[in-house]
Structure 1
Amino acid sequence: MSTVLDGGYYAIKGFNFQYDYTIIRILEQTNELNEIEIEQTEDYSDENIIVQVKYKERANFSNSQVKKPLCQLLEIFKTDKRKPVLYAYFKNKEEQEVSLSLQNLNDIIGDCKIKNKQYSFEEELKTEFINQFRIIFTGKYQEQFEVLIEKIIKEFNCEEEEALIYYAQIYKYIEKKVVNNAPEDKHKRLCSKKEVKELITNSREVIFHSSYTQFLGKEKYYKFIYKRFFRETNINFHERIFLFELPENFEDTNLLIQLTRKIMERYYKKVTFGGSTIIKSPAPYIFFQNAKDTVLKNMKTELLSEGIIFRDGFCFEGADFFLRNLLEESTPQNNIELKFINRYEYIKEIISQLHRTKKNI
Structure 2
Amino acid sequence: MKERTAIDTIKGYFYQFDLAIVKLLELKKDTETIVIEGIEDIDINTATEETAIQCKYHAKKEYNHSVIAKPIRLMLDHYKEVIEGTKKQINYKLYGYFESGQAKLTLPIDSTFLKKHFLTYTEKKVEYYHHIKHNLTDTELDDFISLLEININAMEYQSQVKKISTLLINQFGCKAFEAEHFFYNNALKVIKELSIEDDVKKRKISKSEFLKKIDLKRVLFNEWFITYKGEAKLFTELRTQYFTALNISPFERFFIIEIPTTNYVRTELKDVIFTISKKWSKLSKRDQKPFCPYIYLHNIPHKELIELKKELYSEGFIFIDGFDFDGAEFSVKSICKTANNDNSIKFKLLNKFEHINLTLNEINKTKEIYQFYCTNPFFNSSYINVKHVQIQISQLTDIKKIV
- Bin for the TM-score computed over the shorter chain: 0.7 to 0.9
Asked if the contact 1:252–1:295 (Cα under 8 Å) also holds between the matched residues in 2, the reply is no
Asked if the contact 1:97–1:137 (Cα under 8 Å) also holds between the matched residues in 2, the reply is no
Q: In structure 2, what residue type is equivalent to 1:329? A: K
Asked if the contact 1:87–1:137 (Cα under 8 Å) also holds between the matched residues in 2, the reply is yes
Give the superposition deviation at 1:176: 1.6
The alignment partner of 2:215 has SS state of helix
1:237 and 1:18 mapped to 2: Cα distance?
A: 46
Equivalent runs, 1:1-361 vs 2, <5 Å: 13-46=11-44, 47=46, 48=49, 49-56=51-58, 60-77=62-79, 78=82, 79-94=87-102, 98-107=107-116, 108-110=118-120, 112-113=129-130, 118-138=133-153, 143-145=156-158, 147-148=160-161, 151-152=164-165, 155-156=168-169, 157-158=174-175, 163=180, 167-180=184-197, 182=198, 185-202=199-216, 204-206=217-219, 208=221, 217=230, 219-245=232-258, 247-270=260-283, 272=285, 278=288, 280-291=289-300, 296-297=305-306, 299-315=308-324, 322-324=330-332, 327-332=335-340, 334-361=343-370
Asked if the contact 2:185–2:219 (Cα under 8 Å) also holds between the matched residues in 1, the reply is no
Asked if the contact 1:235–1:281 (Cα under 8 Å) also holds between the matched residues in 2, the reply is no
Asked if the contact 2:95–2:154 (Cα under 8 Å) also holds between the matched residues in 1, the reply is no
Asked if the contact 2:97–2:153 (Cα under 8 Å) also holds between the matched residues in 1, the reply is yes
The structure-2 alpha-carbon separation of the partners of 1:94 and 1:62, relative to structure 1 and needing over 3 Å to count, comes to closer
**Structure 2 residues not aligned, in runs of 5+:** 121-127, 371-403
Give the superposition deviation at 1:40: 1.6
1:335 and 1:230 mapped to 2: Cα distance?
A: 23
Deviates more, 1:87-96 or 1:333-342: 87-96
The structure-2 alpha-carbon separation of the partners of 1:241 and 1:194, relative to structure 1 and needing over 3 Å to count, comes to farther
The structure-2 alpha-carbon separation of the partners of 1:241 and 1:192, relative to structure 1 and needing over 3 Å to count, comes to farther
Q: In structure 2, what residue type is equivalent to 1:100? A: I
2:188 and 2:166 mapped to 1: Cα distance?
A: 15
Cα RMSD of the aligned pairs, angstroms, is: 4.1
Give the superposition deviation at 1:85: 0.6
Asked if the contact 2:335–2:359 (Cα under 8 Å) also holds between the matched residues in 1, the reply is yes
Deviates more, 1:20-29 or 1:247-256: 247-256
Give the superposition deviation at 1:50: 1.7
**Structure 1 residues not aligned, in runs of 5+:** none
TM-score between the two structures when normalised by the length of structure 1: 0.74
Q: Residues 320-354 of structure 1, C-alpha deviation per residue, up to 9 Å, x if partnerless?
A: 86243763321546443311233434433433343
1:291 and 1:249 mapped to 2: Cα distance?
A: 11
The structure-2 alpha-carbon separation of the partners of 1:218 and 1:113, relative to structure 1 and needing over 3 Å to count, comes to closer
The 4+ residue runs of structure 1 with deviation greater than 6 A are 5-10, 209-215
Give the superposition deviation at 1:160: 6.1
Asked if the contact 2:292–2:339 (Cα under 8 Å) also holds between the matched residues in 1, the reply is no
1:250 and 1:321 mapped to 2: Cα distance?
A: 33
1:127 and 1:338 mapped to 2: Cα distance?
A: 75
Q: In structure 2, what residue type is equivalent to 1:17? A: Y
2:162 and 2:334 mapped to 1: Cα distance?
A: 43
Q: In structure 1, what residue type is equivalent to 2:336? A: E
The alignment partner of 1:249 has SS state of coil
TM-score between the two structures when normalised by the length of structure 2: 0.68
Asked if the contact 1:251–1:291 (Cα under 8 Å) also holds between the matched residues in 2, the reply is no
Asked if the contact 2:253–2:367 (Cα under 8 Å) also holds between the matched residues in 1, the reply is yes
Asked if the contact 2:165–2:180 (Cα under 8 Å) also holds between the matched residues in 1, the reply is yes
Give the superposition deviation at 1:263: 2.8
Give the superposition deviation at 1:121: 3.0
The structure-2 alpha-carbon separation of the partners of 1:155 and 1:88, relative to structure 1 and needing over 3 Å to count, comes to same
For these two proteins, the number of residue pairs brought into alignment is 346
